[in-house]
Structure 1
């Protein structure tokens, strides 16, 4: 490995003097930090785990002085390889999981100041006694810094927005001047005093600066929920149902998740303790997981969300829906969150995290499935996603029992075909939630206008003139 040829003796001592002996990893201890959750496998020179912003500053100053590239890394749950070192063995992984001392809740302001290494689950545990939560609902447990760097969305985006919409302020350590700490924004919902600089660090996958702390808007925990899994009467009925829900129940609509029959069956067949909610009938070809949420105390309101949802579904029977399962909410969400595990059990996933205008999402799914069936009949589509915001995880599985052996060239042709369809035919995005990262950089170059790539060049040159921070350069390819 390239990393093994570098003499780290002096550097190791300097880094240990900053973060302590236990804060620097080398050799086999780095393995968990060198492999991505789905894509990305590299070699790090060292892994450094600072526990304070002062330590981050000192590490950045040291590395900038010696022109050593840094890769910021949170919980390493990303899906596009942006938190994975490259194969050169020259990068230091700057893992922020120990940066977790601060989690200060201001319940009256409905905000929290939180260090970048705190995870989503830990944050919500801290918020629970205050009756609050950060409702970005994911199948993983990322760090807050990583969520900002990738602008995470999730299943409740339609009600609460993405991370960008809930971000009030960011603290970051700059690469130029090396180690300088900047505070971008305040714990304010109204601050119209110029450019919102913190947004330059949202979605950049850690390039240019290292996010060390954030101030986030949080929300009151719902006091009521109502959940149902419904079968639409047709593809066309999906949008009719969503529009009717937004018209009649829009104040409470929190999730509207599409699940294909293949996705549902994969989870049921391969994840323990799951059952078909429609049994004894077979799993339907397509279903929609609906959830309503409300903050309405029964002592002041006659609102009963489950009664409201049941009444709405009764009115929609035959016109937009033909079946419904009103089971336990936890059980229905467990089914939804188990799809990825079920898909992996079928074979090797070829994952597409895409979005199109939601009015065309069912049309895209039809055309995407038709393309796979026509040109790649040995592959299986296992699709699901966030119908209400136009996002879909259009996963294609190279099944374990396929007669054809896995072929990277075939996968590349499939990716090119699907992404071209998404962007050119449907005006969509090849990366709805997961960001760019090394895995998607070729499509960024292909589909992003050159002018915008040049703007990204200028941004990167100003923040990180030596290009030392991050794995992805979003400027024009040199």
Structure 2
């Protein structure tokens, strides 16, 4: 490959507004929000699908590797280039906008570069929303590539469960456009090919648009921050909330004392919900799209449920406006970043094993990695845990790269081998998790991927995630 020749062809195809070559202008695209920082040959920003298809044909002919990128909010480096200076970042940010909304079918069709906030802004006048709840504002393509979940997965499922159809560009043959599914809710006519493009970080093709399931906007919401008598009592509360509220249970989040304390340290304008802070708290939310009325008042039902459990499972509770309590929850990640060097874990175990896992994981860190402080929180409703650690500046000399890697491996071994959990519950694989994928994925599964992935990308030109 001639980098100079490739740049000349890309310039001719995309023009000055579609190609970024200056180092300073490339930087925001080359650095991920947490991991991933490399150097790209350039950033290609096609204006439409036809330009993106031609770009893929050009790169295939020149042997140039492409790194698909949406809003660049991912946390495993899947959208970041390596250090070679030879990869092209394919940014979908200009291929954006809502194509169509069908309130009767309850769907929204949008281009891949469309942001989550734009989806919900377009849906709101129709009384609808796309209910993936995240701290970031990703693009449609990025959400599909990572199979995003979020805090309300217990009610609405992940992106995979809310995708009816999508369109993607293939690398083999280069630039071919593949339509998979449509806005039908029922379509059992063979393999569901779109699933190959969801959760695979753009390694099978580049999503250009999607048809997504929309949901009615909640008209009633009731939220409480609850202190359980124990973590086991918290599981009983979860089980009972699902039995009592069924689909009205929207979220069931866990927040440790350290995580709450970090928020209060770095957001002094936020009042402490408890004094003293409990060892663990649960953020519980119920919601409904039905209007409150004489025969159905969700707030009253929720209050009655809380009062009923004060005798057995609840020690204390704060009932407040949903936005107030969710502000505490959504502020955790940014607050913990200010505590020191972050060692983050996006993991999941069976819900029934969450208390035992947490106890054993805390003991492991205290015993073998003293100096690393745990600020854990996460999605108890679906078994997801952000078991994040922060190493204060004074302790960082005790944690060279080798010891941090030993910490990661020890904790992942506990999650996967002892608790049969996942080392990546939401964030995906990407370069950051690639060697853990190799460590924990069954050989038969990798062998199958080794046969399938080359069908879509025989020359390994697409993305930076390998499933073989």
TM-score grouping bracket, smaller chain normalisation: over 0.9
Q: Secondary structure at the residue paired with 1:401? A: helix
In structure 2, the residue matched to 1:285 is 279
1:232 touches 1:286 (CA, 8 Å); kept in 2? yes
Q: Given the alignment of the two structures, is residue 294 of structure 1 paired with residue 294 of structure 2, yes or no?
A: no
Q: Please, which runs of 5 or more residues in structure 1 have no aligned partner?
A: 1-5
Q: Choose from 207, 214, 218 the match for 1:218.
A: 214
Contact 1:51/1:99 (8 A) holds in 2: yes
**Paired residues of 2:54 and 2:175 also in contact (CA < 8 A):** yes
Task: Look up the match of 1:343.
Answer: 336
Within 1, Cα distance between the matches of 2:191 and 2:390? 44
2:38 corresponds to: 42
Map of 1:105-116 to 2, 5 A cutoff? Answer: 105-116=101-112
Distance (whole Å) between structure 2 residues aligned to residue 371 and residue 78 of structure 1: 28
Give the corresponding residue for 1:203. 199
Question: Matched residue pairs, number?
Answer: 467
Query: Does the residue aligned with 1:421 lie in a helix, a strand or coil?
Result: helix
Q: Secondary structure at the match of 2:105?
A: coil
- Residue 75 (str. 1) matches residue 71 (str. 2): yes
Cα deviation for residue 135 of structure 1 reads 0.4
Q: Which residue matches 1:311? A: 304
Q: Distance in 2 between matches of 1:110 and 1:285?
A: 42
Q: Do the aligned partners of 1:169 and 1:215 also contact (CA within 8 Å) in 2?
A: yes
- Aligned residue number for residue 402 of structure 2: 409
2:98–2:119: 8 Å Cα contact kept in structure 1?
no
**Which of 295, 318, 328 is matched with 1:325 structurally?**
318
Q: Residue in 2 aligned with 1:23?
A: 18
| Partner secondary structure for residue 338 of structure 2 | helix
How many Å apart are 1:89 and its aligned residue? 1.2
The structural deviation recorded for 1:13 is: 3.1
How many Å separate the matches in 2 of 1:285 and 1:133? 35
Which of 379, 383, 403 is the equivalent residue of 2:376? 383
Aligned: 1:361 with 2:354: yes
SS of match in other structure, 2:325: helix
Matches of 2:271 and 2:35 in 1, distance apart?
30
SS of aligned partner of 1:56: helix
Q: Distance in 1 between matches of 2:372 and 2:6?
A: 48
Superposition TM-score, scaled by structure 2 size: 0.98
CA distance in 2, matches of 1:175, 1:403: 44
**What's the C-alpha RMSD, in Å, of the aligned pairs?**
1.3
TM-score by length of 1: 0.96
Kept in 2, the 8 Å contact 1:18–1:59? The answer is yes
- Residue 8 of structure 1: how far off its partner (Å): 4.5
Find the residue that maps to 1:255 and give its secondary structure: strand
Structure 2 counterpart SS, 1:93 = strand
Please give the alpha-carbon distance, in whole angstroms, between the structure 2 residues aligned to 1:51 and 1:317: 58
Matches within 5 A, 1:423-434: 423-434=416-427
Name 1:186's counterpart in structure 2: 182
**Partner SS for 2:10:** helix
CA distance in 1 between partners of 2:35 and 2:205 (Å):
23
Corresponding residue SS for 2:413: helix
**Unpaired stretches in structure 2, ≥5 consecutive residues:** none
User: Which residue does 2:232 correspond to in 1?
Assistant: 236
SS of aligned partner of 1:141: coil
Determine helix, strand or coil for the equivalent of 2:373: strand
